Amino acid sequence: MSPVVLYDDERARTFEPFASARPISEMVAGIASVRDRWKAVLQPSDGVQFYAGKGHFDFDDGGALVCADGLIPRGSVIVNSRAIPLLPNELAKMSRRSAACTMWRCGNRLAAVRVADPIDASALLDGRLSLEDVRAGTGAIGDIKGWWIDEVWDFVRLLPELLASDLSQLLAREEIATSLDRLEPPTHSIVLGDHPVVVLEPDATEAAATIEPQVVLDATNGPIVIARGAHIHAFTRINGPCYIGRKTNVMGGDIGSCSIGDVCKVRGELSNTVFAGYANKGHDGFVGHSYVGRWVNMGAGTITSNLKNTYGTVSLWTPGGVRDTGMQFLGTLFGDHVKTGIGLRLTTGTVLGTGANVYGNMPPKVVPPFSWGDSSPYELYHADKFLETAARMMSRRNVELTVQARRHLGGVHARRWSAK
């Protein structure tokens, strides 16, 4: 067996508030996870694994990935998970190209290597191994179009480019372009603009999307794709480019330039935001230029600010200190399992750590993982109570919090970082 191993290097492991709770390969970039993007490019027949350090040996998110362990065999491909390849629209051609390659470049940087010799997974343990130091087999060097995530805020900064590219590539795939896998929006919806508006057809596992009357689908500035099983309620306005994921419930509001992942509930004003999946924002309130991790729940009236009153660039807390992002628009990074109370206001460039449960007025710009309360200094959200809440929320979506996932999240709790 020669798998693809998605490798979080030392830099990727600083991408808080996400990296301490999940491999970066399981982050959503554009409309797809890093894992799914590389699967589409490499078309592996022997599976996909990850390596993100010892804190994630037990990571379990619905069986999506397996942690590499022991000897990584000759012929395996090690991928830098900060490299974000263009989603291909010709999958068969991509498979033939990949079979002939031993190295892949994204821009002027090495993104992936097919190893010439077996390599012990422990060589990846601290994230310092560079792909340039891995001996590759002899063969072609492939050039991959794409992007690099050099800072955690790049998931938000690059969203407009990624959305435009991903939706264009998706709509160019033969099975969709030839109308075998698409439907026109219903005649009782209001369609504006000249870009495509596509509703993906149902299949054996997913029902058709439901679009109620008086939904405005404005494709003036980009395409709109609505996945199987989604439900768009009356009086919703969706502005392209925009992607609405499987079984996601859009309950009203004005939504534009967003990637809304699978099995979400959203309402209100949303702009330039990624929902990674299984998150709830079921009430009014503005969320803009933000990244919403999995299993987040926002209380009614939760509002983010994404622009400073001075119109200057936004600074953001990182493990290496507060940094100027160079971005004029940046809202909040919501770590996995974050919960916010009703009426919570979040200032520009806020970081909410995994499992934080905050309410009250306005928290500071960084809230450490598993904080609980209405003001700093916060109390600790004890692991047993957190896991009880997580299991209860997940069961509402028919997802089990497995023994392995409990062990992993318990470890994340034990290793929680501090903002000091």
Q: What is the pLDDT of residues 343-400, one digit of tens each?
A: 999 999 999 999 999 999 899 999 999 999 999 899 999 999 999 999 999 999 999 9
For residue 214 the two structure tokens come to: 């008086």
Tell me how far apart the 2 most distant CA atoms of the chain are, in Å: 60
- CA end-to-end distance (rounded Å), the chain: 45
278 domain residue, yes or no? yes
385 domain residue, yes or no? yes
pTM (2 d.p.): 0.96
Q: Are residues 93 and 169 in the same domain?
A: no
409's enclosing H/E stretch is helix 403-414
Q: Are residues 209 and 236 in the same domain?
A: yes
Q: What is the pLDDT of residues 26-64, one digit of tens each?
A: 999 999 999 999 999 998 877 899 999 999 999 998 765
* 205 has pLDDT over 70: yes
Q: Are residues 40 and 167 in the same domain?
A: no
418 domain residue, yes or no? no
Q: Are residues 321 and 216 in the same domain?
A: yes
Q: Are residues 160 and 288 in the same domain?
A: yes
Helix count and strand count (H, E) for the chain? 7, 41
171's enclosing H/E stretch is helix 159-172
Q: What is the CATH number of the domain that holds 364?
A: 2.160.10.10
147's enclosing H/E stretch is strand 146-148
* Residue 64 or residue 170, greater confidence: 170
Domain ends where: 129, 150, 171?
150
* 242 has pLDDT over 70: yes
416 domain residue, yes or no? no
Beta bridge partners of 216: 190, 237
Q: Are residues 289 and 327 in the same domain?
A: yes
403 domain residue, yes or no? no
For residue 265 the two structure tokens come to: 């509930």
Whole-angstrom CA distances from 203 to 64, 79, 182, 228, 387 are 21, 32, 11, 8, 35
Q: Are residues 139 and 165 in the same domain?
A: no
Mean pLDDT of the chain: 93
Q: Are residues 202 and 294 in the same domain?
A: yes
Phi, psi of 98 (to 5 degrees): -65, -35
56 domain residue, yes or no? yes
Domain ends where: 116, 150, 184?
150
**Residue 138: what pLDDT?**
76
Phi-psi map region of 301: left, alpha, beta (phi>0 left; psi -120 to 50 alpha) = left
Q: Are residues 129 and 168 in the same domain?
A: no
Q: Residues 25, 52: contact at Cβ < 8 Å?
A: yes
Residues 96 and 100: their CA atoms lie apart, in Å, by 7
Q: Are residues 39 and 66 in the same domain?
A: yes
Q: Which domain holds residue 54?
A: 4-150
Total structural domains in the chain? 2
Angle at 167 between CA 165 and CA 169, to 5 degrees: 65
Q: Are residues 273 and 133 in the same domain?
A: no
**Residue 5: what pLDDT?**
96
